[in-house]
């Protein structure tokens, strides 16, 4: 009898995943195997995650000294070495217990003057593949030698521990949440990597000045290749040293604790309820967050249904209707159904977006295939228009977040116009070109700076004689001219969109131009295309 396997629920719900079902099954199988291994060794995923309280450098008051612990069950021999012993690899041997934990104790009486704040160290491991130098998994600070590019763990024990407590903050006074997502290292105009301190002093004031009241920081954990944007984490417990010291990161947080930069506490992103179900753990975190800070609500970002969505004060969903599956119209139907069935919960959209290349242009509106090499710009524009219509028309939505402002590096991506790029940005990777969708939002959201922008101007070779010309504006209206001939004046709809249908192009080169009808503000935009 032929063996049958039950289709994964996510594959069952989304026909766009059917062609990659085999790969999805392999990933789930690998996850299940890894989870089972973790549970066998640590008891639960929660206990495994709390390992930082035991592993790494831990002070022992009773013995007056430091323990260094590392879990290496497959190792035959392990030594720790660093500048505190003149880098002698096999001088300080670590000892293994029955659970595969290797440890070494450093009494303060012997190492007080040698194991100092900032000391560098590694471990020397003998395994089945021979002897290798490694950085401990629980290192809280990792630095790179600029000359050799060699990474080394660093003992971090400042004389004055950082005080995390700040002044009281009333989130209720903030109003609507407007989130700015930023990468500390890439947020500045200078060449090179920005620091935590520079971000605190230069970028945060600018973000606040522009009207944002919340900041989401990307790629904080240490990653060996900077171009990966932080996706390839090497040290999960070490804030990246490229941006400065842990104290500077803490300084950033403390300095703005009393500002609207933090309005909510986010407890999770896209957790799953199968395997080691995190529901009870999230309940504990939610209670703890309210105990520690009575002024700020809690929230989370979800991409599935389940009990997880009913724990925090508010909930947000990552939705890509019209990109990874379905159509943009699905978002409105889903929101209305969710609000109807669960009027008690506060709903937001924490991610929505679609990929686009400025080099991919088409006359007709044809849906993109996400994992393909063809991401036409006009589909991204259509996607954002329709998704924003659905979001803005529903007053019960407490917030929304466009993913993403800029194209960014993603080493695993093989799509769009080149590999290694997530092209969902409203602006290109080099920050030089703003896509059409950018100006759609600018016309809708910027009420101070006059905007008049022609969409589709990069589509310079067209195949259809009759065209629909679209523009975005926050002005009273505009007049369209094609080859000097007026096609009349148009008023923007409630979404700042102007449209002229059945515009006739002549064979050869055509000039498309729009002029604002506001006599006080002179605005014009144009482009040329060939038929």
User: Which residues are tagged catalytic?
Assistant: 270
Q: Which helix (H) or strand (E) element contains residue 330? A: helix 329-341
DSSP state, residue 205: H
Half-sphere exposure of 2 (CA within 13 A, CB side): 2
Please say whether the beta carbons of 463 and 363 come within 8 A.
yes
Both structure tokens of 390: 């659905």
Going through 357-496 in order, the beta strands assigned E by DSSP cover 397-402, 408-409, 421-422, 452-454, 466-473, 478-482, 485-490
Instruction: Give phi and psi for 28, each to the nearest 5.
Output: -65, -40
Q: Which residue in 440, 352, 339, 342 sits closest to 396, CA to CA?
A: 339
Q: Which residue in 31, 409, 51, 422 sits closest to 223, CA to CA?
A: 409
Write a three-state SS string for 1-70: CCCCCCCCHHHHHCHHHHHHHHHHHHHHHHHHHHHHHHHHHHCCHHHHHHHHHCCEEEEECCCCEEEEEE
- Residue 364: CB atoms within 10 A of its CB come to 8
Give the strand pairing for 77-82 and 120-127. antiparallel
- Residue 206: CB atoms within 10 A of its CB come to 11
Please say whether the beta carbons of 134 and 105 come within 8 A.
no
Using the CB atoms, write b or e for 101-130: b if 16+ within 10 Å. bbbbbbeeeebeeebeeebbbbbbbeeeee
């Amino acid at each position: 009898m032929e063996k049958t396997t039950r289709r994964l629920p996510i594959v069952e719900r989304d026909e766009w995943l059917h062609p990659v079902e085999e790969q999805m099954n392999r990933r789930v199988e690998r996850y299940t195997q890894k989870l089972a291994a973790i549970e066998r060794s640590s008891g639960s995923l929660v206990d495994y995650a709390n390992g930082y309280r035991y592993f790494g450098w831990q002070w022992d008051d009773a013995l007056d000294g430091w323990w260094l612990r590392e879990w290496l069950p497959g190792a035959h021999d392990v030594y720790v070495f660093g500048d505190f012993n003149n880098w002698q690899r096999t001088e300080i041997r670590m000892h293994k217990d029955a659970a595969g934990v290797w440890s070494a104790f450093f009494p303060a009486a012997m190492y007080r003057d040698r194991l100092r704040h900032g000391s560098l160290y590694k471990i020397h491991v003998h395994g089945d593949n021979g002897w290798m130098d490694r950085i401990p998994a629980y290192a809280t600070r990792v630095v790179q030698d600029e000359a050799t590019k060699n990474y080394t763990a660093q003992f971090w024990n400042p004389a004055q521990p950082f005080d995390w407590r700040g002044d009281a903050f009333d989130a209720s006074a903030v109003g609507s949440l407007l989130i700015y997502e930023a990468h500390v290292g890439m947020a500045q105009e200078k060449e090179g990597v920005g620091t935590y301190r520079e971000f605190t002093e230069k970028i945060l004031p600018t973000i606040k000045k522009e009207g944002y009241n919340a900041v989401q920081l990307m790629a904080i954990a240490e990653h060996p290749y900077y171009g990966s944007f932080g996706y390839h984490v090497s040290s999960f417990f070490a804030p990246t040293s490229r941006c400065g010291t842990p104290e500077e990161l803490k300084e950033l947080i403390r300095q703005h604790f009393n500002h609207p930069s933090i309005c909510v506490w986010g407890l999770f992103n896209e957790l799953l309820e199968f395997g080691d179900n995190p529901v009870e753990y999230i309940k504990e975190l939610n209670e703890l967050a309210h105990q520690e800070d009575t002024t700020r609500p809690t929230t989370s970002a979800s991409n599935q249904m389940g009990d997880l969505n009913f724990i925090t004060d508010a909930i947000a969903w990552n939705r890509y209707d019209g990109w990874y599956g379905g159509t943009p119209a699905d978002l409105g139907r889903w929101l209305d159904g969710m609000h109807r069935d669960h009027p008690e919960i506060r709903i937001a959209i924490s991610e929505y977006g679609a990929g686009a290349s400025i080099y991919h242009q088409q006359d007709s509106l044809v849906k993109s295939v996400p994992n393909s090499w063809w991401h036409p710009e006009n589909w991204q524009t259509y996607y954002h228009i329709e998704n924003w219509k659905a979001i803005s028309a529903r007053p019960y939505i407490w917030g929304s977040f466009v993913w993403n402002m800029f194209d960014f590096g993603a080493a695993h991506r093989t799509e769009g116009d080149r590999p290694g790029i997530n092209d969902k940005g409203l602006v290109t990777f080099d920050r030089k070109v703003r896509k059409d969708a950018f100006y759609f939002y600018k016309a809708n959201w910027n009420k101070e700076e006059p905007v008049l922008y022609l969409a589709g101007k990069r589509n310079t070779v067209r195949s259809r004689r009759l065209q629909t010309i679209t523009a975005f504006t926050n002005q009273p209206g505009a007049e369209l001219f094609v080859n000097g001939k007026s096609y009349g004046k148009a008023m923007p709809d409630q979404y700042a969109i102007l449209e002229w249908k059945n515009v006739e192009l002549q064979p050869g080169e055509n000039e498309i131009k729009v002029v604002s009808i506001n006599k006080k503000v002179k605005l014009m935009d144009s482009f040329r295309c060939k038929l």
